[in-house]
Structure 1
């Protein structure tokens, strides 16, 4: 097993995740089996309780792990399925060590950061690096490890020390350190400054790690003289200083072709976290994958649901998942507009639940219809707490991870988009769901519940009759979207928005399965 550790200097958010993903993709394209681990030095057990404005979206894995969004990058770039233990946090490590101490595993010794915490980090990495992530179930050959935060952060020190020791345990020929740094260019002088990178590398070397490759981020291409200066003062050869052009490094993301596309599809994303695009990172990627597949450029308009104003020229509406009552009235207005104006609509998780609320209020005339999340005393609780919901705890209490949804009818748009499969398996993250006791009233008025869980008690998919595309899903299909295999619900939204859905659905179902290749999606074929 070989290990690549990606560290960062100068500032946080420098792009370590994209660099790690890109390096992994290059190695995988060479025929190697690659896995990835993300280390987050915060004390939280996982990312599940974060506000999206803290760290962006919470990415959900097949096994229900709520993890950092960088693991979403790894899965999309590498086309692999990771596990919750591929995300290491300080909280997880300390919890693991404290549990061992309580069980008497340390035989009465004083438990310390060194060696007990550092040993736990190394053992966790070595064990998780061996876990197969591909369909062939073979052990990976290379593990790319991203250390979150910035070198010098006090909370990251135990991890840096762990890898200082680990480079000798793994043997030097099996360990590589890539350091990502910033080369700023102040407007006052217009000169590219190397001192921040020098200081960052000096701090790294002072902690016992010496970079094998320095990846520099800069607003403009870095001059050769600057590369040579970094080489001289950071103790690396000039060829070990590189500038990576993000977005073109991976064979999966063919953005050169994407930028040349002339046709544009405008989609309005109506949510309450619109000030930071990372809050909807996977949603954006799923839309982008679908747009590229049908030879369109995506024009995504982020519309704040608390200040709803729908512009003209919108091709379709997307209401994503979320929590809390703030902004729900704006989302309901957007859903009503899409329903009555016959605009293509996709509701995900909360978006589906609000579509049911809107239909109950305006089509069934249940004016006080609501979710018990927002009004526990509503007389028409069309969305209710799950039976297993425990309101006393926040972390890990939701219905999480990959679950099966069974199609209840063959006459379903989404079933056709999934390649006429009898069931699909998608990832979930929710505490509330549609009240199954009231569904017959909706069905009589044309809102069909076409997908249920395996027991038939949980409503997973809604479709509205006599509408070009009005679909809601309780699961989060964006988490399994890939550049070469776009998510069917998102693909359906863009096909409907561009007026090509019917032609697409008339094709052979076998050619539009979830395992479809990129070429098979070209709109030129229908």
Structure 2
């Protein structure tokens, strides 16, 4: 079931990294895909992570950034979020390969006796499994039309020379011959540092990185040099000479103001022409030539925005922005759509708590000063009891001060707890995750298996049905009857309290298929107080922002009421043009399909 015909015309682009990790391989790989899609090619992506974990589901956000969730419930590396956003595709759990997955697959085969008593080794069994996995996944459709991709872009995580990734490096050394040279291209991304003392571009680390790569039997076809500022021609020529790559195939991508610039820079440096020649790509005649124009418009609009919208993000992982990567992207997409410059204030939830006021009053007052200066408040998802009281305090402030608020997953649950305590007067109200109190307004889902770590939650794409026409969120989604969004949670609102909540003004306007799970809440007589149990940030796109995030930004800008007056029920997923003299007169309210 794993093997595909290796004589297929599928093209492969392998992206590796050198010198240090975290230099932007994922963005480079995504940008290559964007350029190829702009020329009409169907593209898929694979991310390889050399850690032994089966998936990213059990990682601490401080260890590896956010966990990205796919439609099929796969908990994967955050780089797959970049691929989906840049390429506007829907990936699958098998698009993320880990050492743990490969070894588990091989060991399962060995236990079944599939190797007929042979000694199972890294070469050939592990390396063969890697190649077979890549070939199989590369042929799986990621587009709505279900057509097979033309090109597969593979990012090898980590840095060349890492002992963890050696089996993958060897697999691709073999793979280049398996699929033939004209179907395989290697792009190497390397850091070119600039010491403060001279500010000179130092190419020696890149030279050593490529030397090591060549020592493993892989020769780069294109070298992407990452640096703080543009490289002079002399530095490019030095890389070209010592790395044995044509100087036209050495491209510098300096630091940019917005990531939307990266595909544009690569396109200007002739990346498509190089790939077209190297992979013998047959030009497509019927492609949308406006895609790169749209990306240029996004980059220019983002760089020229002057009027700010300030959002306070109250969470427990605020020391690392990557812990909220998709949330920040969704906010950026929405702010850009509303012609605003986004400013996010990261507030650690514990800094808002009464204990901090006693222990560190300066930190406490600074946190509250930041919160009060924001135009809107967002409480994202998370796990564990740390910072919960701070989140509840922030939500109470947003509710009582009529400040636009959006709660995601745990943020919705905290909003329910806050309302139960301060409006319904259930003083001990809490979640069963944190306290076994009398009024458990948030409870564990029946199907959760607490004995196993990883993939034990309600995961992936699920349908939410609107139960009323009188809903702000429903209008933001284009007045649809139901929507599909991605979930990642173990706890839910206790159904037995719903009636008393709704009588007090907290309406649960979106529910699951069985009407038992509360998916969307809204507060009556409030400019924008919304909580969603799902994670809308996972399917936000630069050109198609997420509805709940768009509502938060519009409300924070004071434009939501004006926007909603122009929403009518649509029979097809067409845009609604806002015709008003406001700054949003040229914005379109989108619909999810």
Task: Name the TM-score, length of structure 1 as normaliser.
Answer: 0.97
Which residue in the other structure is 2:7 paired with? none
User: Secondary structure, in 3 states, of the residue corresponding to 2:398?
Assistant: helix
Would you say 1:215 and 2:232 are equivalent positions?
Answer: no
- In structure 2, the residue matched to 1:171 is 180
Match of 1:247 among 239, 260, 266: 260
Aligned counterpart, 2:24: 15
| Structure 2 counterpart of 1:305 | 349
Counterpart of 2:119 in structure 1 is: 110
- Matched residue, 2:400: 340
Match of 2:159 among 146, 150, 153: 150
How many Å apart are 1:392 and its aligned residue?
A: 1.1
Contact residue 567 and residue 576 of structure 2 kept, 8 A: no
Q: Report matched runs for 1:174-213 at 5 Å.
A: 174-213=183-222
Distance in 2, matches of 1:66 and 1:370, equals: 28
2:332–2:342: 8 Å Cα contact kept in structure 1?
Answer: yes
Q: C-alpha displacement at 1:56, in angstroms?
A: 0.6
Instruction: Spell out structure 1 runs of 4+ moving beyond 6 A.
Output: 511-515, 517-522
Return closer, same or farther for 1:108/1:80 CA change in 2, 3 Å cut-off: same
The answer on whether the counterparts of 1:181 and 1:214 sit within 8 Å (CA) in structure 2 is yes
Q: CA deviation at 1:524?
A: 1.7
Aligned counterpart for 1:258 among listed residues 290, 302, 310: 302
- Alpha-carbon distance between aligned partners in 1 of 2:568 and 2:329, rounded to the nearest angstrom: 25
The equivalent residue for 2:450 is 391
Q: Is the 8 A contact 1:484 1:518 kept in 2?
A: no
Q: For residues 128-184 of structure 1, what are the alpha-carbon distances to aligned partners after superposition, in whole Å with 9 as ceiling and x for unaligned? A: 000011111100000000000000000100000000000011100000000000011
User: Which of 155, 169, 174 is the aligned partner of 1:160?
Assistant: 169
CA distance in 2, matches of 1:232, 1:509: 62
Are residues 1:360 and 2:420 paired? yes
Identify the residue that residue 427 of structure 1 maps to in structure 2: 486
Q: Identify the match of residue 47 of structure 2 among 38, 56, 74.
A: 38
1:210–1:515 CA distance, 2 compared to 1 (3 A): farther
TM-score under structure 2 length normalisation: 0.87
After superposition, where does 1:29-68 map in structure 2 within 5 Å? 29-68=38-77
Given the alignment of the two structures, is residue 75 of structure 1 paired with residue 79 of structure 2, yes or no?
no
Structure 2 partner of 1:464: 523
Secondary structure of 1:249's match?
helix
SS state of the match for residue 357, structure 1? helix
Counterpart Cα distance in 2 of 1:197 and 1:25: 26
Q: Is the 8 A contact 2:28 2:262 kept in 1?
A: no
* 1:233 Cα offset (Å): 0.3
* Aligned counterparts, 1:379-458, within 5 A: 379-458=438-517
- Does the CA contact (< 8 Å) of 1:418 and 1:512 recur in 2? no
Aligned residue for 1:299, secondary structure, equals strand
Among residues 469, 473, 492, which one is paired with 2:551 in the alignment? 492
1:132 equivalent to 2:144? Answer no
- Whether 1:523 and 2:536 are equivalent positions in the alignment is no
CA distance change for structure 1 residues 515 and 71 in 2, over 3 Å: closer, same or farther? farther
SS of 1:244 mapped into structure 2: strand
Deviation at 1:221, TM superposition (A): 1.1
Q: Distance in 2 between matches of 1:498 and 1:287?
A: 13
8 Å CA contact 2:230–2:253 kept in 1: the answer is: no
Unmatched runs of 5 consecutive residues or more in structure 2 = 1-9, 264-291, 353-366, 588-593
- Describe the SS at the equivalent of 1:265: strand
Q: How much does 1:321 deviate?
A: 0.2
Question: For residues 290 and 511 of structure 1, do their structure 2 counterparts lie closer, same or farther at Cα, with a shift above 3 Å needed?
Answer: farther
Shift of 1:509: 3.0
Aligned to 1:271: 315
Alpha-carbon distance in 2 for matches of 1:313, 1:363: 25
TM-aligned CA distance change 1:98 to 1:517, over 3 Å? farther
Unaligned 5+ runs, structure 1:
none
Offset at 1:507?
Answer: 1.2
SS at match of 1:472: strand
Change (3 A) 1:99 1:440: same
The Cα shift of 1:525 comes to 4.5
- Once the two structures are TM-superposed, the CA of residue 54 in structure 1 deviates from its matched residue by 1.0
Alignment RMSD (CA, Å): 1.6
User: How much has 1:249 moved relative to structure 2?
Assistant: 3.1
How far off its partner does 1:118 sit?
0.3
Tell me how many residue pairs correspond in the alignment.
Answer: 525
Deviation sequence 1:172-205 (CA, Å, 0-9, x none): 0000000000011112333221110010000000
1:313 and 1:378 mapped to 2: Cα distance? Answer: 35
Give the secondary structure class of the aligned counterpart of 2:225: strand
CA contact (8 A) 1:419 1:513 kept: no
* Structure 1 position 502, deviation (Å): 1.2
- Alignment-derived partner of residue 6 in structure 1: 15
Cα distance in 1, alignment partners of residues 59 and 142 from structure 2: 26
